[in-house]
C-alpha cells in the first residue's frame, strides 16, 4: 500500500466519524502523491501522520446568562494544528453547526493556506456551537467574554493568534480582546487580529478576504485574456467575505447579480452596486441571517430555499457562503446551463468532492479556496507585524502588500501544478505549493 493510501486509511479508522475533516484530508493527501511518493524522506520522517494529527486541541464549556436570566452552555473549541512555520493562526467560527469535524477541517486547510501567503504563520482554528442569530448585543458580549475567559490561556502574540470567521466580526473580536486584556493585565495586541482600527487593528483587514479573492481572480484572468469589467459573477453568501468581493468587483466595473443566505437567493440583473453594497453590512449586523429583505428593498427577484448554481446566466460562479454548498446536482446543473466554465471558491471548501471531480473532469477551471481566500489571513498576519512594531500602516501600503501576496500565490500554485505534471490543476497546485514549505520546516526541525 502506498504511503498516502496508508495514511488515508489510518485517518478513516481513527477519525471516520468526522466527515468534513476526512473529506479535506483526502483531497489534500491525494494531490500530494507526486511529491511524497517520489522521495522516501517524507515517509521516513512521518510527515503525513504528523500533519493529520493536531499538535494540541482544546474543547471547553462556555457558560453564559441570557437576557431572561437563564443559564446557557455552549461548547468551545480551539485546534492548534501546526506550528511548523510560525505561531498558530486562524479564525474563530460561531455557528450552531460547529463541531470537532468542522473545526478540524478548517484547521487542516489553514496549515496550507497560511503557508501559501508566504508569511510565517502556522495553522489553527476555533469556535463554538453558539448561534448569534436573534441574540441581543448584551448576550453576544457576555458570550464572547465567557469564551475568552477560557481561551486566553492558550493564545498570545507568539503562541496562537485567532481572528474572525463566520459569526465573528469586528464586534465580537472587540469584546473578546477587551476580556483578554483584562485577564492578562497587559496590552498584547498581537494576540487577536481583525481588531478595530482604534485599538490595534489593520486598515484593510475587513475587506482583505474579498479584495484578495478579486486580485487573485485578476491574475487568473490575465492567463485567459479576460477582464473583471466584462464579467458577470454569481456570488453566494452576503456576509463579510461576499461584501468585500462585491465591493471590489463593482469598483473594477464587473457585475454581481446574485447573493444568498440560508433562506434562499436573490437575483438582481441590474447588479449589486452603490447603496446595495452598504445594505449587505446592515443585513449582517441585524443578526437575522437572511437575504429576503434585500429583494424587498431593491425590487430584486427572490428564490426561497434555492441556490444560484446553474440557475442564472453568469460567466463566473463565486461561492462565498460556507462549506459544501455546491453538490453534485448543482455541478450537473452548472454543466447543463453551460455558460460558465469558471468556479472561483471563496468560502472554505464550498464544493463537495463529487461536484469538484465532475466539474474538473468536464474541463471547468476551479480556483481553490485555500489560495483564493488567503488574503484575509495574510492581512491578519500584516496586522500582527504592525502590532509587533507598535505602528499602523497606511491603506495604500496594506493594499499593495495584499496585492503582491495574491499575485505571488497565483504564480506559485501555477508553477507547482506545472512542476508536478498537472498544469492548470490549481487545486493540486495549491496543495503542493502549500505543503512544500511546511514539509521542509518539519524536516529541518526533527521529530516534534
Q: How far is the CB of 319 from ligand GLU (least distance, A)?
A: 14
Nearer to ligand GLU among residue 244 and residue 310 (C-beta): 244
Can residue 91 be called a binding residue for ligand GLU (CB under 6 A)?
yes
- Which residue's CB is nearer to ligand GLU, number 123 or number 261? 123
Q: Is 165 in the site for ligand GLU (CB under 6 A)?
A: yes
Query: Which cell is 247 given?
Result: 465591493
**Minimal distance, residue 102 CB to ligand GLU, in Å:** 12
- Which element (helix H / strand E) includes 368? none
How far, CA to CA in Å, does 445 sit from each of 42, 85, 185, 442, 448?
13, 10, 34, 5, 7
> CA neighbours within 13 Å on the CB side: how many for 150?
19
Q: Give the three-class secondary structure for 88.
A: strand
Active site includes 89? no
Catalytic residue among 125, 188, 247, 370: 125
Report in angstroms how near the CB of residue 362 gets to ligand GLU at its nearest: 28
Q: Which is nearer to ligand GLU, 78 or 89 (CB)?
A: 89
Binding-site string for ligand GLU from residue 104 to residue 123, where x marks contact by CB under 6 A and - marks none:
---------x----------
| Position 82 contacts ligand GLU (CB under 6 A) | no
Residue identified by cell 473549541 is: 77
Smallest separation (angstroms) from ligand GLU to the CB of 46: 27
Our finding on whether 193 is near ligand GLU (CB under 6 A) is: yes
Interface residue with ligand GLU among 127, 376, 429, 434 (CB under 6 A) is 376
Q: Does 90 bind ligand GLU (CB under 6 A)?
A: yes
With respect to ligand GLU, which residue has the nearer C-beta, 142 or 195?
Answer: 195
Helices and strands (H, E) in the chain, number of each type: 18, 12
89 in contact with ligand GLU (CB under 6 A): yes
For the four alpha carbons of 91, 217, 284 and 304, in that order, the dihedral sign comes to negative
3-state secondary structure of 115: helix
Which window, 53-61, 85-93, 264-272, 304-312, contacts ligand GLU (CB under 6 A)? 85-93
Find all residues with CB under 8 Å of 416, minimum gap 6, and list them. 428, 429, 430, 432, 433, 436
DSSP-assigned letters across all residues of 152-195: GGG-BTTTEEEE-BTTB-HHHHHHHHHHHHHHHSS--GGGS-S-
Give the nearer residue to ligand GLU in terms of CB position, either 210 or 310: 210
Q: Answer yes or no whether residue 27 interacts with ligand GLU by CB under 6 A.
A: no
Q: Cell digits for 366? A: 476551479
* Residue found under cell 472554505: 348
Compute how many residues bind ligand GLU; rule: CB under 6 A: 11
Angle at 298 between CA 294 and CA 300, to 5 degrees: 80
Contacts with ligand GLU by CB under 6 A lie at 89-91, 113, 163, 165, 193, 348, 376-377, 380
Active site residues: 125
Amino acid at each position: 500500500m502506498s504511503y498516502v493510501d496508508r495514511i488515508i486509511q489510518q485517518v478513516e479508522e481513527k477519525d471516520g466519524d468526522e466527515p468534513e475533516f476526512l473529506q479535506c484530508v483526502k483531497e489534500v493527501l491525494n494531490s500530494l502523491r507526486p511529491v511524497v511518493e517520489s522521495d522516501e524522506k517524507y515517509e521516513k520522517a512521518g510527515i503525513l501522520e504528523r500533519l493529520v494529527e493536531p499538535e494540541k486541541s482544546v474543547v471547553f464549556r462556555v457558560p453564559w446568562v441570557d437576557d431572561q436570566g437563564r443559564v446557557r452552555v455552549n461548547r468551545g473549541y480551539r485546534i492548534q494544528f501546526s506550528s511548523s512555520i510560525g505561531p498558530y493562526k486562524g479564525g474563530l467560527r460561531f455557528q450552531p453547526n460547529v463541531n470537532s469535524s468542522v473545526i478540524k477541517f478548517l484547521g487542516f486547510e489553514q496549515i496550507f493556506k497560511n503557508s501559501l501567503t508566504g508569511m510565517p504563520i502556522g495553522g489553527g482554528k476555533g469556535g463554538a456551537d453558539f448561534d448569534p442569530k436573534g441574540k441581543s448585543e448584551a448576550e453576544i458580549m457576555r458570550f464572547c467574554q465567557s469564551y475568552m475567559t477560557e481561551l486566553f490561556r492558550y493564545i498570545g502574540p507568539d503562541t496562537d493568534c485567532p481572528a474572525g470567521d463566520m459569526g465573528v466580526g469586528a464586534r465580537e473580536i472587540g469584546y473578546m480582546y477587551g476580556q483578554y486584556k483584562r485577564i492578562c493585565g497587559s496590552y498584547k495586541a498581537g494576540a487577536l487580529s481583525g481588531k478595530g482600527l482604534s485599538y490595534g487593528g489593520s486598515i484593510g483587514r475587513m475587506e482583505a478576504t474579498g479584495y484578495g479573492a478579486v486580485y487573485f481572480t485578476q491574475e487568473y484572468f490575465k492567463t485567459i485574456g479576460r477582464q473583471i469589467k466584462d464579467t458577470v459573477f454569481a456570488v453566494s453568501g452576503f456576509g463579510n467575505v461576499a461584501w468585500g468581493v462585491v465591493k471590489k468587483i463593482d469598483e473594477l466595473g464587473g457585475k454581481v447579480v446574485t447573493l444568498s443566505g440560508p433562506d434562499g437567493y436573490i437575483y438582481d440583473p441590474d447588479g449589486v452596486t452603490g447603496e446595495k453594497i452598504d445594505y449587505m453590512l446592515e443585513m449582517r449586523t441585524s443578526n437575522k441571517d437572511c437575504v429576503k429583505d434585500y429583494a424587498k428593498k431593491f425590487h430584486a427577484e427572490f428564490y426561497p430555499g434555492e441556490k444560484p448554481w446553474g440557475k442564472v446566466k453568469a460567466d463566473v460562479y463565486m461561492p462565498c457562503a460556507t462549506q459544501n454548498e455546491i453538490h453534485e446536482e448543482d455541478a450537473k446543473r452548472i454543466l447543463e446551463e453551460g455558460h460558465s466554465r469558471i468556479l472561483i471558491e471563496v468560502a472554505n471548501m464550498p464544493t463537495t468532492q463529487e461536484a469538484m471531480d465532475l466539474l474538473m473532469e468536464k474541463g471547468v477551471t476551479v480556483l481553490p479556496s485555500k489560495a483564493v481566500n488567503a488574503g484575509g489571513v495574510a492581512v491578519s498576519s500584516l496586522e500582527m507585524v504592525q502590532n509587533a512594531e507598535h505602528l499602523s500602516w497606511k491603506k495604500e501600503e496594506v493594499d499593495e502588500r495584499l496585492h503582491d501576496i495574491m499575485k505571488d500565490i497565483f504564480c506559485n500554485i501555477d508553477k507547482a501544478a506545472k512542476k508536478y505534471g498537472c498544469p492548470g490543476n490549481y487545486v493540486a497546485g495549491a496543495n503542493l505549493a502549500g505543503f512544500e514549505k511546511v514539509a521542509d520546516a518539519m524536516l529541518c526541525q526533527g521529530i516534534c
